[in-house]
């Protein structure tokens, strides 16, 4: 049996802030759902899966979660995200592998990486 990621859900009590971040800073396209969006639910097209924001209190500590986004140029993407207001850590090039962590407004970790999914 093979499992694939379909959706990642973050519970948040800051729907507008989180929606603005994933749409305007990260640059993901919202998937429209007129019944819920954007006050209770907002879902974004993230390529191989969707990232959903669900109205409610954040769950377990955000430091245990991380979404990893593939990008071709980590350094250039890091600078663009910082210019858009993202909190980004130091760039971590490790030979061919290049990584950089950031945090969304709720403190959830995300990473940009040039590691291609196999």
pLDDT in tens, 16-67: 999 999 999 999 999 876 555 667 889 899 988 889 888 887 656 555 668 8
Cβ atoms of 9 and 56 within 8 Å: the answer is no
Neighbours of 75 (CB within 10 A): 14
Looking at per-residue pLDDT, the higher value among 105 and 63 belongs to 105
Neighbours of 24 (CB within 10 A): 11
* Whether residue 89 has pLDDT greater than 90: yes
Over range 80-107, report the average pLDDT.
90
CA distance 17 to 20: 5
How buried is 51 (Cβ within 10 angstroms: 0-12 exposed, 13-18 middle, 19+ buried)?
A: buried
- What would be the CATH architecture of the domain defined by 7-113? Roll (3.10)
Model-wide pTM > 0.85: no
Computed over every residue of the chain, the mean pLDDT equals 84
Q: Which of 8-12, 63-67, 111-115 has the lowest mean pLDDT?
A: 63-67
Cis status of the peptide bond prior to 38, with omega within 30 of 0:
yes
Q: What's the sign of the alpha-carbon dihedral 41, 108, 65, 26?
A: positive
């Amino acid at each position: 049996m093979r499992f694939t990621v379909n959706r990642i859900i973050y519970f948040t009590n800051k729907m507008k802030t989180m929606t603005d971040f994933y749409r305007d800073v990260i640059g993901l396209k919202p998937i429209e759902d007129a019944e819920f969006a954007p006050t209770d639910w907002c879902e974004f097209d993230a390529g191989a899966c969707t990232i959903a924001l669900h109205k409610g209190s954040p769950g377990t500590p955000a430091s245990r979660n991380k979404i990893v986004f593939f990008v071709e140029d980590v350094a250039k993407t890091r600078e663009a995200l910082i210019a858009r207001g993202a909190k980004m850590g130091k760039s971590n090039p490790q030979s061919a592998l290049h990584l950089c962590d950031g945090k969304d407004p709720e403190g959830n970790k995300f990473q940009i990486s040039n590691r291609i999914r196999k």
